[in-house]
Structure 1
Amino acid sequence: MITPLRMGLVGYGFGGRYFHAPLLASAPECEFLGVVTRNSPERREQVGKELGLPTYASLEELAAAGAEAVAISTPADTHMPLVRQALGLGLAVVCDKPFALDAAAARETVELAERLGVTLTVYQNRRWDSDFLTLRKLIDSGALGTLTRFESRFERFAPEPGPPAAGGGTLRDFGSHLVDQALVLSGPVEQVYAEMHHRDGEDGLDDDVFVALTHRNGARSHIWGSWRQGAPGPRFRAAGTSGTYVVDGPMDGQEGLLISGATPASLGDRWGAEPEERWGRVLRGDRVEPVPSARGAWDTFYPAFAGAVRGTRPVPVDPWDAVATATVLDAARAGAASGQIVRLP
């Protein structure tokens, strides 16, 4: 057991309310102090009613209340100023994705955390999706042979209103997860090709993207992100030299559980369990084998982070991984604009 990490949350929009607050409140390794939110009586009332916790007007006020760490879940363009401010106050930081709007800002912030000696990580919770954990087990066990092609999709049909501005567009928002998963599986990228559609012309947010990555190890990752796809494709199709793992969908169920009001604390061992009808399959020609899904494990993120701050565990996500992801996303934007393949050094 470790002394619970005294943590606050910045932002109580969709992400803060559903993806962070319930998991923070469910982690015995964390003491959830309250929420830093804008000067909105309605939002303060909502936090009090739903969480029974106080609100704070600023990071300084949160730090003065005894916080050791903070999770930042605010619009994408506010992440870097808030992260740097928190690091300057000596607060360990969990930053939501997209970590930064570009790789240069991401790199500068990670370097700042290292100079200050303050723990920093990025909330890449999709690493702990049930289907992705299952895929990693299949690869590690050799069940698929050598991975040669990874196809991954976050596709929805909501052309109106389209992607929320807070996420910075589909490539930054969905792409942060999609690229991160591809890098976890196949490592560094040497070539990037991308296509993007912008909802309201080139000045509008991108609402439909395709990115093809060539990894240094020879594997290829094809990823799609869309708010305008009426017929979503398979969530995963991961092809190896001796088999292919296919997940037709829908998405991992942990998001739906949190939105419905369920939490790891309320469900216990049932948290993250996927019913049989949602399992993926391994195909080898005519042979089809259902694969029981690993338990989804978003609930392990904050305990791991608390351990990292206490010096007993590594951070759940190395912040340099977020720099690598941002570098690929920068290349995708440049390549989509030019119509050219972008080669990374």
Structure 2
Amino acid sequence: MAHTHSGGTDVEATLEPVRFGLVGYGFGGRWFHAPLLGAAPECAFLGVVTTSSERRALVAGDHPGVATFASLEELKAAGAEAVAISTPAHTHSELTDRALELGLGVVCDKPFAMDAAAARRSVELAERSGLPLSPYQNRRWDSDFLTLRALVADGVLGDLVRFESRFERLAPGDGPGAAGGGTLRDFGAHLVDQALVLLGPVASVYAEWRLRDNGLDDDVFVALTHRSGARSHLWGSWSQGAPGPRFRATGTSAAYVNRTLMDIQEDLLLAGHTPATLGGEWGTEPAERWGKVYRGDSGETVPTLDGAWSTFYPAFARAVRGLGPVPVEPRAAVATAEVLDAARRSATEGVVVTLG
């Protein structure tokens, strides 16, 4: 999808770019946030907060002319208006709150917080401060998820009764490090958010996991019963040699299956492409990656919509300027964290947890 000013109004055409900083330049900051910030005309990519000399050198090589700073305070003093936080999971809440206290709008990567109480504190701080705050749920703009939402909205599947969703990979060694806070918090944040977007609030949660030698959870399975009666079955793993279908969504009249492992936008960013370099080709899935709608044995191929991660930062910039809502409501982060808290309790105690 081409990068455009959504709405295309004269006001937005003259939108002064929002001066944006990035905290952290690990894998997520370097490959997911910096390229999208740099590609968005609505954002002026001001600099990166990192104290690592190695990562400062990476920033200089990747983004000549982009400054580095030792602290949020330095970034703010340089004129930043908003910040994206992409640091180890356990630091997210502290950095989010400090940025808000400095008067900065905040985008925080997943997991937004380590538990629902911390998520709620940050959201209430943003509300009191009148500052824009958004969890970085870019996966709402995955090509396959946008396609599934369109099929549901158009009534192609009938009433959705079961949603099966997987983030499964095979990672060498002992899987991901502690930065993600475990597979349930890391992959689970996206899996649960998508389920809530699709099927609404949750009534009960059941979960299983395997603890790795490093003490982190992996091979996670979460079953949600939504208040509507529909069910979501969610899998997350860094140690799955045979990843299952990304989606199987079953409705009363048809089912949608997409066997592609992950949306193409991640691969594009890792290959050095951005929405600015690809233009209209950004987020376009080749036909062999398209999913199918099934009614029994016969499957009908459905073209996958273009992925649109490129719309997140422009939307947040408009929110900073008072021209629209944040791309993801901060209260959504609290709802997701409540489900993840319940899933941790379920996996630990072997019980089904009811949500109020």
Note the alpha carbon deviations across 1:176-220, whole angstroms, 9 max, x for none.
0000000000000001000010002xx700011000000001110
Structure 1 match to 2:302 = 291
Structure-2-length-normalised TM-score: 0.95
1:311 counterpart residue number: 322
* Residues 198 and 207, structure 1, Cα contact 8 Å, conserved in 2: yes
Shift of 1:41: 2.1
SS of the residue corresponding to residue 288 of structure 1 reads: strand
Structure 1 gaps of 5+ residues are none
Quick check: 1:54 aligned with 2:60?
no
Equivalent residue for 1:271?
Answer: 282
CA contact (8 A) 2:243 2:261 kept: no
Task: Please tell me whether the aligned partners of residues 97 and 123 of structure 1 are also in contact (alpha carbons under 8 angstroms).
Answer: yes
Deviation at 1:159, TM superposition (A): 5.5
Conserved 8 A contact 1:250-1:278: no
CA contact (8 A) 1:163 1:207 kept: no
Aligned structure 1 segments of 4 or more residues deviating by more than 4 angstroms: none
Structure 1 residue 264: Cα displacement = 0.5
- Shift of residue 286, structure 1, vs aligned partner: 2.8
* 1:3 partnered with 2:16: yes
1:258-298 per-position Cα deviation (integer Å, ceiling 9, x unaligned): 01101111000000000000000000013311000000000
User: Is 1:183 the equivalent of 2:193?
Assistant: no
TM-fit CA distance, 1:49: 1.3
**What is the alpha-carbon root mean square deviation over aligned residues?**
0.8
Q: Across the two proteins, how many residue pairs are aligned to each other?
A: 342
Matched, 1:240 2:251: yes
Task: Tell me how far 1:105 sits from its aligned partner.
Answer: 0.5
Q: Using the alignment, how far apart are the partners of 1:79 and 1:235 within structure 2?
A: 28
Aligned equivalent of 1:97, options 87, 110, 113: 110
> Which letter does structure 2 place at the counterpart of 1:48?
A
Give the C-alpha shift of residue 130 in structure 1: 0.2
Q: Could you give the per-residue CA deviations for residues 51-104 of structure 1, whole angstroms, max 9, x where no partner exists?
A: 011101111111111110000000000001101110000000000010000000
Distance 1:280 1:220 in 2: 21
In structure 1, what is the equivalent of residue 82 of structure 2? 69
Per-residue deviation, residues 31-62 of structure 1 (Å, max 9, x unmatched): 00010111x22221111111011101111111
The AA in structure 1 aligned to 2:181 is G
